[in-house]
Amino acid sequence: MAAPFAVLGLLLVLMIIIAGWDQIAERFEQLAEDRSLRRADVWMDSLRMLRDFPFLGTGLGTFGSIYSRYQTHSSTSLFDHAHNDYVELMTDTGLIGFLAAAALAVVFLVMIIRQWRTRHRTYVKALGAGGIASCASLLFHGMTDFNFHIPANAMLWTMIAGTTYAVVFNVGRSREAG
């Protein structure tokens, strides 16, 4: 049952890559030449912030106020965010906050995926897969952007995560049953 789905998924990914490769390649070329926004430079500078505030960070939402002291490139650009949610979480809350948030996310995802694998109803399988993919895609996108620092996106992620949990663990039905 799993093998045909895996093949289908692989085919889908291949089709998307082939159909949109030109745009993807063009975007990567632009990024390579864009001297005004080199994300890797921002991350390296941010890590210098972490060296100065390793355990508790600089405080939630303070990246824009502190980063300018550590910036070493782009002399006319101001950065409000690190363009990487994980790096910004680390500089804002330090290693303690980062590890706590990472542990929470890992436990949540592992729990959901484990439970999802035990379910058999097509409805739960499909909705659960959609929810897990949505959560994972935003987490992946967070590696090069600041999605979780945009309240609408963070709220949407929370809603999707909550819905996925409810579907996979059959929350409503178990209460009715109880």
Q: Write the Ramachandran bin of 59: left for phi over 0, alpha for psi from -120 to 50, otherwise beta.
A: left
Q: Is 114 an interacting residue with respect to other proteins (CB under 8 A)?
A: no
Residue in 49, 76, 86 with CA at minimum distance from that of residue 65: 49
Window 65-104: residues binding other proteins (CB under 8 A): 65-66, 68-69, 71-76, 78
From residue 145 to residue 164, the character string flagging contacts with other proteins as x (rule: CB under 8 A) and all else as - is --------------------
| Separation between Cα atoms, residue 100 and residue 138, nearest integer Å | 19
Reduce the DSSP state of residue 145 to 3 states and report it. Answer: coil
**127 — phi, psi (to 5°)?**
-65, -40
| Separation between Cα atoms, residue 116 and residue 167, nearest integer Å | 9
Min dist CB 149 to other proteins, Å, is 18
**156 — phi, psi (to 5°)?**
-60, -45
| Separation between Cα atoms, residue 15 and residue 9, nearest integer Å | 10
Min dist CB 30 to other proteins, Å, is 9
Looking at the Cβ atoms of 63 and 116, the one nearer to other proteins is 63
Q: Is 33 an interacting residue with respect to other proteins (CB under 8 A)?
A: yes
Min dist CB 24 to other proteins, Å, is 18
| Separation between Cα atoms, residue 55 and residue 163, nearest integer Å | 33
Residue type for 174, please? S
Q: Is 35 an interacting residue with respect to other proteins (CB under 8 A)?
A: yes
Looking at the Cβ atoms of 66 and 101, the one nearer to other proteins is 66
Q: Is 137 an interacting residue with respect to other proteins (CB under 8 A)?
A: no
Min dist CB 158 to other proteins, Å, is 18
Window 116-135: residues binding other proteins (CB under 8 A): none
Give the residues lining the site for other proteins (CB under 8 A): 33-35, 65-66, 68-69, 71-76, 78
